[in-house]
Amino acid sequence: MGSFSASGSAFTCYRALRETGASSIVAVGIAFGVDEKKQQIGDILISRNVVLYDEGTVRDDVARAMYVYEYPDTSVPVATPRLVERFEAAGVTAGARPCSVGTLLAGVTRIESRAFRDHLVERVRAVAPQVIGGEMEAPGIAAACAATPSAAWVIVKAISDFATPESRARIAPTRTLAATSAAEFVIDTLRHPEVFRGGLPMSSHYFHTAYVELKHPKLAQWESLRRNQKVDAMRVAIDRQLGPFGYGPATLRVRFLDAAGGVVGRDHVRWDEELDDWLVAQGATAVNPAHETHRTELRLRDRFESLLRQYGDGRFNTALMQHLRGGPFAKHPELAPLFELIQEAPPIKSDPVAERKREVDFIISRVAQELCPKLGYDEPAAEKILVDALALYLKQRFHVSDLPEAPPIPRH
């Protein structure tokens, strides 16, 4: 069937949703396995999510005179949790066939290569550490259900082959066995009253499954790149455009360097505090002081956001400006002219302004100590970056002065 042909899963699923008014789609069929030693023909695979491997990026690897296929921004559609849980529960109670729940590789490319299959599993590990198999219809199912927001979906398939020439050569009987296995499992599940009528509460796993702290997908990818490419250092650049109402969304650009200073990898992602916290912890400085200033301004903005939500604009502005006017930078030539232009509301007598000023002081001190000593700047350099970042933040927040153009991205 595939995903996007005239008779593919996207059109079939979309038409079924419109014509029948169905609220859920269960895609049943055959899939390939990824581990011949642990999996068998007919084993059931249930999608927790799917990785669309056709959305990779081909890049030149000049050092090795070849190209590499990477998956930095691959889509990972997530199946509807309530359906996943119910079919998983059915797999536990039925027990006739081994049943795995995890990530399915999905794409329109037919795979008949063990090397490429293993390459896919390894390369998507950063975004999908638990790949259990792969198939060809999920992209269309996910797309059709995304166009119908109320539609729930899950992929339930059985292993017919292992995406290798040998297993594909005997696909005729194994395809029949797998299709029958998947269909019987789904039919039995739909007949299971204790699964679909409340006998096994959907939320039960919340109380019994070990809690695992999830990492940002990019962190796993970057950590893998550091190990495999022998990365010695990282450098950061901030890409943002100045518009009529201030800076637009910022992009975090990262370069991975070897011991000789050569670039062995690059990546970019929308500005994310969690990712930059990790980069700071690794000692990754910006490519130059101008980029470090913009990065520090973004870190200040993110940390001040919690005070803004808690106290509102007016009370936050009062605490911020009273602290700065009475702080060590009160007469600094970069900040003092801005203080004269900013008119914050006077404090309300009943407000604990002193406590809020201490919170502002804590945030600025924390960001300052990330610059020195954590990132290795000496104190005079760190002070200039911090002051320039505070000035940038005040100009944006109070609109009292023209903003400078963002620094250009160095080409090398």
Percent of the chain topping pLDDT 70: 89
pTM of the model: 0.55
Segments forming the whole domain that contains residue 323: 233-398
Whether 112 is covered by a domain: the verdict is yes
Whether 412 is covered by a domain: the verdict is no
The residue-averaged pLDDT of 117-138 equals: 85
Residues 76 and 196 in one domain: yes
Look at 145 and 361; give whichever has higher pLDDT: 361
Res. 244 pLDDT band, cuts 50 70 90: confident
Whether 299 is covered by a domain: the verdict is yes
Residues 198 and 240 in one domain: no
Domain end (from 191, 208, 225): 208
* Count of domains for the chain: 2
Whether 332 is covered by a domain: the verdict is yes
The average confidence (pLDDT) of the chain is: 86
Domain end (from 208, 241, 268): 208
Res. 23 pLDDT band, cuts 50 70 90: confident
CA dihedral (354, 359, 363, 368) in degrees, to 10, reads: 40
Residues 19 and 145 in one domain: yes
pLDDT digits (tens, 9 = 90+) for 367-388: 999 999 999 999 999 999 999 9
Whether 221 is covered by a domain: the verdict is no
Helix axis angle for 289-325 and 353-369, nearest 10°, is 160
Residues 178 and 254 in one domain: no
pLDDT digits (tens, 9 = 90+) for 278-294: 999 999 999 999 999 99
CA dihedral (187, 193, 39, 115) in degrees, to 10, reads: 70
Residue bearing tokens 């695992």: 212
pLDDT of residue 19: 83
Whether 181 is covered by a domain: the verdict is yes
The residue-averaged pLDDT of 163-192 equals: 89
Residues 161 and 276 in one domain: no
> Are the CB atoms for 104 and 155 separated by under 8 Å?
yes
> Are the CB atoms for 27 and 157 separated by under 8 Å?
yes
Residues 332 and 283 in one domain: yes
Percent of the chain topping pLDDT 90: 47
